[in-house]
Structure 1
Amino acid sequence: MSVLPSIDPVPAVVVPSLRQVFPAPTAGAGITVTELGGATVVRVAGEFGRQDLGVLAETLGDASVEGSRLVLDLTAVDAVPAGTAAILDATSMHLSRWGTRLAVVGSIESTRALAANARGRTAFHTTLDAALAYREISA
């Protein structure tokens, strides 16, 4: 007799355009991908919970393109769920192949909490303007 583990479906959203908003069907967060100031900006707004982490990871992966700066804007969420730092680390490692960093914008509390758990080359900012003005300095 074989026993197969049960796999619960996770809501996933494919982002086919850089100018559309796609809330996950059962999740509370809306994720927008736009281009601004020469960077790709992924904005998360609303109730950002653990159920949204898969969609965030997929969106950051799709938005990671060689030669483009990537900014994650978390200023429109109240808190970030556990597990977010691991996604940021994975994205940072992916971007490091091209010699660039992920820039994350959020409240002082959110950026402190994420920076304390981050192991990657992620740059943290408290304003979108600071993140867009940030330029990678080669070592």
Structure 2
Amino acid sequence: MVMVLPKGVPTLQHLNTKNWTRPDNVFCTEHTQGLFVKCATDPANRGPKTDHVPVLSVLDLTLTNTNPEPRHNFRATNWEKFRETLRLQLNEVGPPTALATDREFQNAARALTRAIQETIEKEVPLCKPSPYAKRWW
């Protein structure tokens, strides 16, 4: 935790003694510290018969626009062509064999995954998602 309110800034004036103290603090994480533009007190804005001084925090919360990445549109896929391309990709992998070791299993899984991914890249068209679409979750 990091103290954002500068050291020595009083946040309370006792109503009877008029002594200034600092019981109020402003903490944040190191991650959010860079978002603070200003953190200070405003004694002129103190309400009537109140001893605490308002603490004003100004944060830079600007949003960056991101362009949605194109993704695969499986609805527009020609599945006959997809199956044929996948069949050719799997022929390059070779016929199924018994897997005796963990290494053989890992290699077979990698080859199968690569064949499916390459087929998707070749046969499934890309679409640009609408910036107004909401995610399903």
TM-score, normalisation: structure 1: 0.18
Larger Rg: 2
TM-score, normalisation: structure 2: 0.18
Ranked by relative contact order (alpha carbons within 8 Å, sequence separation 6 or more), the top structure is 2
